[in-house]
Chain A
Amino acid sequence: MNIHEYQAKQLLKEYGIAVPEGSVASTPNDARKIATKLGTGKCVIKAQVHSGGRGKAGGIKVAATATKAAEIAKQIIGMTLITNQTGPAGKIVRKVLVEKTTDIARELYIAVVLDRTAQKFAIITSPMGGMDIEAVAASNPELIFTTHVALGQELWPFQIQKLLTGCKLDAEQIKVGTGILQNLLRLAQEKEATLVEINPLAVTRKGALRALDAKINFDDSALYRQPAIAVLEDPEQTDELELEAQKNGLNYVRLNGNVGTMVNGAGLAMATMDVIKMAGAEPANFLDVGGGADEEQIAKGFEIILSDKNVNAILFNVFGGILRCDILAAGVVAAAKKIKRKVPMIIRLEGTNVEEGRTILAKSGLNFEMAGSMKEAAEMVAKITVVAKNC
């Protein structure tokens, strides 16, 4: 689960890491009040959406006065921000963060991330923070400093030295920087975060260290025991259909094609999309119904696929393991009878209780075609949708 910048900064503050003074506003009037209270005149207004690239998309602006802050907030709140990460639909802005501007001398990068290869936390720093950090990592790897710490462990002094020496900090800054590293690692472990990233960590002209932007990602599977984190979720940041799927325990991602897919297992779902594309058609979605889906979830998934108006055929590819074919079949039959919209269905069933599943389908009176193999299924669906496109 991701959270907003203002929420991430609140957490950093709780962990003793300095962030610019400021507060979150939902209305231009609130923005004016916050700006007035900040007092310095100049402040920065930042759109709160779960996406990088906000500045380039026009979601971050500087205001010279409190009145100007209200004006900018009025422009930004309610706008649909389209960044390179949001997709063409963009994300609507409901809140802005109003902050004191920072006199930046230099920008550092600092992050704690769960490294699946090392199966430990990786702690990363660089003196070259800012938007181009990935390019720096590729072209100048000597400017990226990384060390690893196992769960439940702390950084040794030599590791801290390795991480901070390259950032060219003075003695006082190293003291503060040490605290930041230790606290970030503590935050990741205590709150079960898989990523805590401060980029940039500004060195101000007066020599202070300030976290100007932060991204935190939490382990979804642990949210049940992290109630203070779970409440930070903003459901509006997720696509409506994706959210609906999530609520029903389904993993759905909307895409741009016209072949709806329902598959069990993420790997097979991806491979099914690959095969559909190779057959010349375009998948409309990724839908993994998971292992333990019941009849109701299958029916819900079917409904979600069909609420995407682009869909003009559906391919079911189910290889029953823990999910039994009879349950899939019963769910499809129940949903198809309820939903008025009819599109051609290609069904490929194999695995646990496959005969029971085929019998349920055969007796249902539904209009569908059975495919004997995955390849055949993809070719059948491509034939339908490509013909439909040409009509």
Chain B
Amino acid sequence: MSILVDKNTRVVVQGITGREGMFHTEKMIEYGTNVVAGVTPGKGGQSALTLPVFNNTFDAVKQTGAEVSIIFVPARFAADAACEASEAGVRLVVVVAEHIPVMDMLRVKAFLRDRGTFMIGPNCPGIITAEECKMGIMPGYIHKKGPVGIISRSGTLTYEAVHQLTSVGIGQSTCIGIGGDPIGGMNFVDLLKLFAEDDKTGAVCLIGEIGGDAEEQAAQYIKAHFKKPVFGFIAGLTAPPGKRMGHAGAIISGSKGRASSKIDAMELAGITVIRNLGDFGAIVAKTLH
């Protein structure tokens, strides 16, 4: 009843002894996540929250069988940490940090692609399979097991959407915050492909925002290949036009990136578009029941 992670997934936390790392690891464990190890360079041999701490991800993987990693190290070191985890053989890294230099992310993407490692983030809340595995900073209590998969570019927007779904009695399978950075890991289409194969996910919500053309691409993919019901929301409908520098952005993307372009593309693909976030849960409930 999920994609990418479930209750058996063995998780290592990179940066476990930091302030954020410690706080969120504790919440992850409380939620029931199978955290098996932590990594902090120089603190190998110690323990944190009763978990063994290793100097690097290689040792953690070798000794605990960790298969996925969540990274809580600061932006300047996060790219290196992601590549280390990939080289150590984890199949998925979740990068929470924001403000990672774009050029670092381009290097990380190439590195991970060569080794077949999936990445979620950066600048994202992470991934959660309801009532099984929380790998991220999202509040756990708002999630409830059920049939709806969620993919979102914004962290707090996802919480809002999930909270409304749970409030109207609709549970979730897996929720993924893919992050809002220009260069990121898995995108809408990558995850839709996994949801298509997951027979316990009955419908998917896409939560997007203005800028880029990830939503347009998702809509195109859905129109051609995706058979389950899809709901869409775009933040920034009323945002004033940004202060743009130069013309190159407009030349390569044309009118894509605007809320109207995204909504049009979604509606053309048969996606139910929700315009007012306040109505999210109610509309999904009405359509699915």
Q: Do A and B bind each other?
A: yes
Asked if A268 meets B137 with Cβ closer than 8 Å, knowing A2-B245, A114-B182, A319-B163, the reply is no
Is A326 an interface position by the 8 A CB rule?
no
Choose among A52, A273, A291 the residue with the greatest number of B CB atoms under 10 Å from its CB: A291
Inter-chain contacts of B289 with A (CB < 8 A): none
Whether A113 is near chain B, meaning CB under 8 Å from some CB there, is: yes
Q: Which residues of B contact A264 (CB under 8 A)?
A: 156
* Alpha-carbon distance between A221 and B278 when the two chains are bound, in angstroms: 33
A377 to chain B, nearest CB (A): 9
User: Which of the segments B50-58, B197-205, B249-257 contacts the partner chain?
Assistant: B249-257
User: Which listed residue (A122, A274, A351) contacts B248, Cβ 8 A?
Assistant: A122
Q: Is B240 an interface residue (CB 8 A)?
A: yes
Is B20 a contact of A271 with CB atoms below 8 Å? no
Contact of A351 among B20, B159, B243, B249 (CB under 8 A): B159
CB < 8 Å neighbour of A270 from B155, B159, B236: B236
A274/B100 in contact, CB under 8 A = no
Residue of A2, A116, A192, A215 contacting most chain B CB atoms (<10 Å) = A116
State whether A321 and B159 are in contact (beta carbons under 8 Å apart), knowing that A137-B250, A215-B246 are contacts in the complex: yes
Stretch at the interface among A35-43, A165-173, A193-201: A193-201
Contact A151 B240 (CB under 8 A): no
Q: Is A270 in contact with B209, judged by CB distance below 8 angstroms?
A: yes
Q: Would you call A116 and B212 a contact (CB within 8 A)?
A: yes
Residue A277 CB within 8 A of the other chain:
yes
B135 CB to nearest chain A CB (Å): 13
Is the C-beta of B7 less than 8 angstroms from some C-beta in chain A? no
Contact yes or no, A192 B103, CB < 8 A: yes
Residues of A within 8 A of B157 (CB): 265, 267-268, 271
- Please tell me if the beta carbons of B246 and A267 are within 8 angstroms of each other in the complex: no
The docked-state distance in angstroms from the alpha carbon of A50 to that of B180 is: 25
A250 close to B (CB within 8 Å): no
User: Once the chains bind, are A320 and B249 in contact (CB under 8 Å)?
Assistant: no
**A197 and B248: CB pair below 8 A?**
yes
Contact A119 B252, beta carbon cutoff 8 Å: no
Enumerate chain B residues within 8 angstroms of A112, measured Cβ to Cβ: 248
Q: Which parts of A108-135 form the interface with B (CB within 8 Å)?
A: 109, 111-117, 119-120, 122, 124, 133-134
> Are the CB atoms of A274 and B243 closer together than 8 Å?
no
> Which of B110, B139, B153, B180 has the largest number of chain A CB atoms within 10 A?
B139
* Contact A217:B103 (CB < 8 A) given known A266-B180, A274-B238: no
CA distance A115 to B157 in the complex (A): 25
Asked if B247 is at the interface of the complex by the 8 Å CB criterion, the answer is yes
Does chain B have a CB within 8 A of A322?
A: yes
Give A83 Cβ to nearest chain B Cβ, in Å.
10
Q: Which residues of chain B from 258 to 286 have a CB within 8 Å of any chain A CB?
A: 275-279
CB–CB A271/B107 < 8 A: no
A-B contacts at CB below 8 angstroms, number? 198
Q: Are B103 and A189 in touch, CB under 8 angstroms? A: yes
Q: Which residue of chain A lies nearest to B276 when distances are taken between CB atoms in the complex? A: A278
B76 sits at the interface (CB 8 A): yes
Closest partner residue, chain B, to A146 (CB atom): B252
Please tell me if A205 contacts chain B, counting CB pairs below 8 Å: no
Q: Which of B139, B209, B246 has the most CB of A within 10 A?
A: B246
**Chain B hits for A378, CB < 8 A:** 278
In the assembled complex, how far is the CB of residue A165 from the closest CB belonging to chain B, in whole angstroms?
A: 18
Interface residues contributed by chain A, number (CB under 8 Å): 71
Given contacts A274-B238, A291-B98, contact A122 B252 (CB under 8 A): yes
Whether a CB of chain B sits under 8 angstroms from the CB of A246 is: no
Q: A residues within 8 A CB of B155?
A: 265, 267-268, 291, 321-322
Q: Is the CB of B139 within 8 A of A197?
A: no
Inter-chain contact B213/A117, CB cutoff 8 Å: yes
Q: Write out the residue numbers on chain A whose beta carbons fall within 8 Å of the beta carbon of B213.
A: 117
Neighbouring A residues of B41 by C-beta, 8 Å: none
Q: Which residues of B contact A270 (CB under 8 A)?
A: 209-210, 235-236, 239
Are B103 and A222 touching (Cβ within 8 A)?
yes
**Are B235 and A274 interface neighbours, CB within 8 A?**
yes
A237 vs B164: C-alpha distance when bound (angstroms) = 41
CB proximity of A234 to chain B, nearest CB, Å: 14
**Is A219 interfacial (CB-CB < 8 Å)?**
yes
Asked whether any CB of chain B lies closer than 8 Å to the CB of A224, the reply is yes
Q: Which residues of B contact A117 (CB under 8 A)?
A: 212-214, 217, 252-253
Indicate which residue in B24, B182, B237, B277 contacts A374 across the interface (CB closer than 8 Å): B277
Residues of A contacting B49 with CB < 8 Å? Answer: none
Interface CB pairs A-B, < 8 A, 16? A52-B244, A117-B213, A146-B252, A192-B103, A195-B246, A265-B156, A268-B235, A270-B210, A273-B239, A274-B235, A275-B278, A291-B98, A319-B160, A321-B139, A350-B139, A350-B142
Residues of A in contact with B (beta carbons under 8 Å apart): 2, 50, 52, 85, 87, 109, 111-117, 119-120, 122, 124, 133-134, 137-138, 144, 146, 150-152, 189, 192, 194-195, 197, 199, 215, 217, 219-222, 224-225, 255, 263-268, 270-271, 273-275, 277-278, 286, 290-292, 319-322, 350-352, 354, 373-376, 378
A267-B153, A278-B275 given; 18 more Cβ-contact pairs under 8 Å: A50-B245, A52-B246, A85-B244, A109-B247, A113-B249, A117-B213, A150-B110, A195-B248, A197-B246, A219-B101, A263-B156, A267-B235, A270-B209, A277-B238, A322-B24, A322-B155, A350-B160, A351-B142
